[in-house]
Structure 1
Amino acid sequence: MLVISGGQTLSTLASPGYIIKNPEQMVNKFTITEEEKAADTLELWHHEKISELKTFLKDYDMTSISTSELRIVGRRLFESNVINSRALLMFSEGIKALDNKGRQPNHDVKFNAIALFNERLEEQIDFFEKNPRIARSDGAADYLQGMVRANHVINALA
C-alpha cells in the first residue's frame, strides 16, 4: 500500500505471480503413466470422448504452457465436465501474475504447469495445517479439493 500526501492511501494490485521452485519437475505423486488410468482419472470412459480430447490436447505440453493456453485447456475440460469450477480456477489463474490494474500480464510466457499445480497444492496444504481455523472455514475444503482435482487432471493430460 502506498501512502500519498494528506494521509490518502493507494493500493496496488501488482504481483509478480507464483515463482515455481522446481520448474523442471515432470513427476510427482499425481503422475499417471498408463493411458487407461489417465482416462479413468479424466472420467473419460467413452472412446469417442477420449479421441476428441486427445486430438484437442495434442498441441499442448503441460510442462511448457502459457496462461492463455492453460485457460483454453481448462475451459475445454470444464465444458467436458472433467473438472469443476474450483479446478477451473487453477487453470485460469495460471502463474497468478497481475499488473497494477489487476490484469494478467505476459499471458504467453511458458511455464511448467505440472510443477506449478503441485507446488501450489503443497503450499496450500501446509498453510491449512498451520492455520486450522482457516482450513475449517466455509469453502476451504472445496477449494483444496479443486486443487487436488486440477493436479490429478494436469498429470493425466501429461
Structure 2
Amino acid sequence: MSELSVRGAARGAAEPGFVERVQEELARIWASAPYVGLAEQSAFELAVVEVVANSIRHARPLDPSVPVVLEFRVEIGPGRLAARVAELNAWPFGPGGRSRGLPGDEAETGRGLALLERLLSKLTCETTSSGNLWILELERPGPERAQARPR
C-alpha cells in the first residue's frame, strides 16, 4: 500500500474542550492512514494531547483582553508523524523550551515534557512574534519494519 501524506488542523480557544477537538481530528487522520501502527498512533497522540493540555493549563495571554488561541496542525506521511501546536497571544514559554529533566519522586507534576522528550524524535518550543510554537515529530520505521494495523 502506498503511504500518502494526510493532513489535519484545528483552531480554538485554549480551553479544555480543545483537547477533544484535537483527538477527533487525530481519529479522522488515523482512519485515513491505516499504515500507521497502533503503537505509533498511541505514542504520538499521547504526546500531542500532553502538549495541548499543558498549553491550556499554562499558557498566559500577553494581552489580557485577547485570549490565548491554540492552532493545531498535523501531517502524517512516509517516515514521520509531525504536529505543530501554536499558542497564539501567549507569553514566551521560557529559555529554549526544554524541560530540566525529571523532578524528584515526591513531585506530583513536572514529568510530562521530560517523558515526551524521550518518546518523540523531536520536541521543541520556539518563541515567535505571535506566541509559542511547539514542534513534535516521531520518526517512523521503514515499510519493511512497520506493522500496519489490521482493518
TM-score normalised to the size of structure 2?
A: 0.31
Relative contact order, higher structure (CA 8 A, sep 6+)? 1
Normalized per residue, the structure richer in helix is: 1
Structure whose CA Rg is larger = 1
Normalized per residue, the structure richer in strand is: 2
TM-score normalised to the size of structure 1?
A: 0.30
